[in-house]
Structure formats: C-alpha cells, structure tokens
Structure 1
C-alpha cells in the first residue's frame, strides 16, 4: 500500500513544468547581492515629493508581494494538475517572498526607521491598496480554481505595474540604477510567473464547454474593469503631484492587455507598446547591468541577464 508518492522528475506529464522550473532556477537572485548604497547620492538629490512617491510605491508593491507569497500560491497549490506544477509554485512562492523582502532592503538603505514605519502605516490604511488586496485575496479564499488563476495573473502582470513605472522612469533618466536593478529582476520573475499560471489557466479553460467559457470570460473582464477603476484612482493619488498620471495609466492599460494575453484572451484596451513612455519600455526590455555582485564576497558569481518575454510566449504550449 502506497501512503505517499515521491515526485519523479524523470517522468514529466507536462514539459512546461520542467522548462519553467529550469528557467526560474537559472535566474535565481537575492537582494543582498545588489549594492543599493551606491544609489544614495541620487536619492539625496530627489525632492521630498519624489522621495515620498518612491516610499509609497515600494510600500504598495510590498503588500502585493505579501499577498502573493502568503495567500496566492497556497491557494493555487490546492488545484495543481501535476506534482511538478506544485514544485514550480513552491519556487514562485519563495521568490515572491524574496521580492517582498527586497523592498525592505531598499527602505533600510534609503529611509530612516521612522520613515519606514510611516510607509507601512500608510500601506495599512490606504483604501486603494487595501481594496485591491481584498479583491484578489477574497478570490484566493473563495474562488474556483480557474478564477484564482485569473486573479493571480492580473496581480502579476497588471497590478504591480503602477509601482514598477517609478523606478523604470528613474532608470531611464540615469537615477537609482541599483534600485531599478532589483525591479528589473522582479519583472523578469513576474513575467515567467504570469505566463506559467496563465498557461495553466488556458489548459483548464479549454476543457470547459462554450457556455461555461463565456460565463467565465464575462466574470474575468468584469474583474479587470473593477481592478482598473481602483487602479486609476490609486495612480491619480500617487502621481498627480509629479505629473506622471496619464503616462502611468497608459502603462497600466498596456499591461492589462498583457495579462489578458497570458490568459489566452483578447486585449481590452487600444494601448500598445508604442504608446508607453519609451524610457520605461526600454527599462523593461533591456538586460540587467550585470554587476558582478557575488565577486564582492569572493566567489565571482555573475548575475544572469534579464530576458524579456515576447508576445509569443504568452501562448506557450497552446498554439493552434
């Protein structure tokens, strides 16, 4: 009698599980190896309004990564199709914790203790942040297996990007390059996470009959409208003071379309990559700076480069 089966990586039911595991492990990184203190000169030159924006942006991102690491992956692991999928989700769960911890490394480098406390107090009280965390987490708690995957992809590929805009913008203006290095590494991870979970969604979605597909599709677009309406208000709150609001909204709509592509659905908004601030798009698409981080402690490890996901990757394994 078998009580528990061992996972066998020599018998793969879904090759995407194996290829995703290999990609995620190849691009493993830790925030402790990035010399954030080198950005202090840039930080001191920012205005108080800009410093406040950076703190709030990273506080919001910390909340979303916390939801994803503490609730999201645990919810998705209840409905895996293969044991190897659960292993991949374990990897994603850990890296979401690395992401959340990375923002604290940024805070500890750039901010005072009292400023950090103020940031986390703001995160706990901001209605727009708390609303999107509640919407996503309630789906994790009570949604169907496919609904939970939709919520995860919307978080990974859409909701993070109102925060990612800021460091990518500064990078394009030759400011805070090491802070941006962390963000680019996180984007590299999130690109794979969103693509993989979207692929798993598509497998289940394609098993539904047309009526069930249409019902789920309607729910999906309604959810996106709800999240986008809240994200517009959040963006206005954050960016009106520095005058970037409309550019961030364009970036959000572009990434909302990418989230839908991950899920095998048609784009909703007319915005394309050509509409996004080219400085920000360049930050996403180029490689990391390839600092020889680990050589600073003597072992000469060179961090791998970011590889941007292409449109064709969003339908991985499901081309018709």
Structure 2
C-alpha cells in the first residue's frame, strides 16, 4: 500500500497556490455580518416588476452557487496538480456554500415565506436556467480536466453576471446598499476563483500540442457561444419587464470576454468596459466600501483578533 503523504506548505511546487490561499483567507467573510434589514425601506419603494427581477436573479444565483459547491469543486479536485491546489479548492468549495447561503439571508429579509417557496419552485423548474446548470454539470461529470476548468471559469466569470447586474444597478441608484455589499463580497471571491482556475487551465493547455490546442479552442468557443445564446433567452425572460435587457446583454458579453482572458484566450465579442452602463461598472469595483461602521459593515471589514477561550465562554 502506498504511504499517505502529508501536505507540506513549506515545500511548494507552485507559489501561486500559496498566494491564492493567503488571498482567499484574508478576505474571508460571512453573510451574518451584513445588516440586510437596513435595506427594507428601499425594498418597499420598488415596483412589483423590480422585486420580481431581484427575486429571480437571486434564485438563479443560488442554483449556480449550489452547483459550484456541491459538484464543481469536487470535480476539479480530482484533477489537482498539487496538494496545495486541492487545499485551495477546498477553500473555494466552502465559500461557494457561503455564497449560496447568503442569498437565502437576502430572501429571509426581503421576502415572505410564501414568496420564498415560489422563488425556489421557479428556480428548480425553469428550463432556461436549468439548461445552463445541466450544461455545466455535464462537463463537471463527464468532461476532461481542461473542460472542467473551462466550465468553472465560464460559470464564475460569465454566467453569474446576468444576476449580478441587478444589485449593482440598484447600488448605483443608492438603493439596496447592503444587498449589494454581499454581491461585492461575492464578486471579490469570484474574481480570485476565476483567475486561479484560469491559471491552472493555462498550465494544462500549454502542455497540449499545437493541433490539440486548436481543436480545444474550437470546442471552447462553440461552448461559450451556446451558453451565450441560452443566456440571451434568460436575460430577456428576466429583464424585458423592466427594460434593461440590452444593457444586461452588453454586460454579459463584456464578462464573457473576461472569462476568455482568464483562460488566456482572445475575446469573442466587441464589447468593452466603455460599453457597459457606467453606473454598473462603478459598482463592480471590488475595493473597500466607505461605509458608516455604526450602521453598515463594508466589504473591507476586519476580522476581530482571536482570543483564547475562557471557561465562562462555554456557559450558555
């Protein structure tokens, strides 16, 4: 029997593993730190159509983060190049669960129990939403190691953004600031996830022959365009009722190009940051928010210093 090998962080095969681990642990957060109830006054001013969009985009995001946490990262871990990479993917897997849970925190604050049931019923049965989840999961279950990484980057850096548009839009109009704060925390995580997994993809891709690379690129661009066509339908379904569809599609194409860049590929669409709604682009910044710490917790909050537990701490 082969001996079990202990992970040694002092003997690194890839320095990016350690740098990514440190980055992810530095920006650890939980949804319980964000005072979502402060957004209730804003929520009551939204129209029924606006509320419907918010509910459905977060339902869709919950489904995709569930996919990432339950199937995506375990699929990627099977092909880890180093022990430290597997540890980083463990961290990502947990944070995807935090992301999925955070949407339920939003629902429990803004929606009634009956509305929450309706949101999840819609999420679990909508054919367009299920198509992209099943397309990505099929790659996780049956794809090659490189195809799995492409699926993950496409999901993290492209497909999530039809949902992210909504809270970023409202943030730019001084509404739902705490809901948007959670999204900015998620964006900060996804930025690292997409970059890291894209880097690991490039290591494997560069080991292919030139002919294999060309064949793979053809598959990758065809897959992206298939997902984009489905995302067009999803965007019309969500946003036609509020008139944002064209702006959201620009945002999607821009982020599809960003996903390709993470994979070391050329962009597919002509859209650039200058074409995106500037209000949303301003909100997409992952820098620390300048919040009043007496009323809100910005995404740059500091974790408290760890202190030794006392006997009295165990007395509930």
Q: TM-score, normalised by structure 2?
A: 0.92
Please state whether the residue corresponding to 1:103 is helix, strand or coil: helix
Q: 1:133 to 1:262 in 2, by over 3 A?
A: same
Contact kept in structure 2, 1:181 and 1:288, CA below 8 Å: no
The equivalent of 1:175 in structure 2 is: 175
Give the whole-Å Cα distance in 1 for the aligned partners of 2:291 and 2:94. Answer: 23
| 1:207-244 deviation digits (Å, cap 9, x = unpaired) | 00011101110010000010000000000000001000
Unaligned stretches of 5+ in structure 1?
306-320
Contact kept in structure 2, 1:140 and 1:148, CA below 8 Å: yes
Give the whole-Å Cα distance in 2 for the aligned partners of 1:302 and 1:127. Answer: 36
Aligned residues: 300
Structure 1 position 92 matched with structure 2 position 92: yes
| 1:149-194 deviation digits (Å, cap 9, x = unpaired) | 0000000000000000000000000000000000000000000000
Q: 1:187 to 1:132 in 2, by over 3 A?
A: same
Give the whole-Å Cα distance in 2 for the aligned partners of 1:126 and 1:241. Answer: 17
The equivalent of 2:300 in structure 1 is: 304
How well do the aligned residues superpose, as a CA RMSD in angstroms?
1.5
Contact kept in structure 1, 2:184 and 2:284, CA below 8 Å: yes
1:130-169 residue pairs with structure 2 within 5 A? 130-169=130-169
Contact kept in structure 1, 2:288 and 2:298, CA below 8 Å: no
The equivalent of 1:309 in structure 2 is: none
Unaligned stretches of 5+ in structure 2?
302-316
- CA apart distance, 1:25: 0.3
- CA apart distance, 1:285: 1.6
- CA apart distance, 1:286: 5.2
- CA apart distance, 1:304: 2.3
The equivalent of 1:80 in structure 2 is: 80
Give the whole-Å Cα distance in 2 for the aligned partners of 1:144 and 1:290. Answer: 44
Contact kept in structure 1, 2:250 and 2:276, CA below 8 Å: yes
Give the whole-Å Cα distance in 2 for the aligned partners of 1:80 and 1:292. Answer: 42
- CA apart distance, 1:289: 2.5
Q: Which runs of 4+ in 1 moved over 4 A?
A: 290-293
Give the whole-Å Cα distance in 2 for the aligned partners of 1:151 and 1:285. Answer: 24
Please state whether the residue corresponding to 1:79 is helix, strand or coil: coil
Give the whole-Å Cα distance in 1 for the aligned partners of 2:151 and 2:219. Answer: 11
Contact kept in structure 2, 1:77 and 1:86, CA below 8 Å: yes
Contact kept in structure 2, 1:205 and 1:213, CA below 8 Å: yes
- CA apart distance, 1:303: 5.0
Contact kept in structure 2, 1:149 and 1:201, CA below 8 Å: yes
- CA apart distance, 1:288: 3.6
| 1:240-273 deviation digits (Å, cap 9, x = unpaired) | 0100000000000000000000000000000000
The equivalent of 1:40 in structure 2 is: 40
- CA apart distance, 1:125: 1.1
The equivalent of 1:232 in structure 2 is: 232
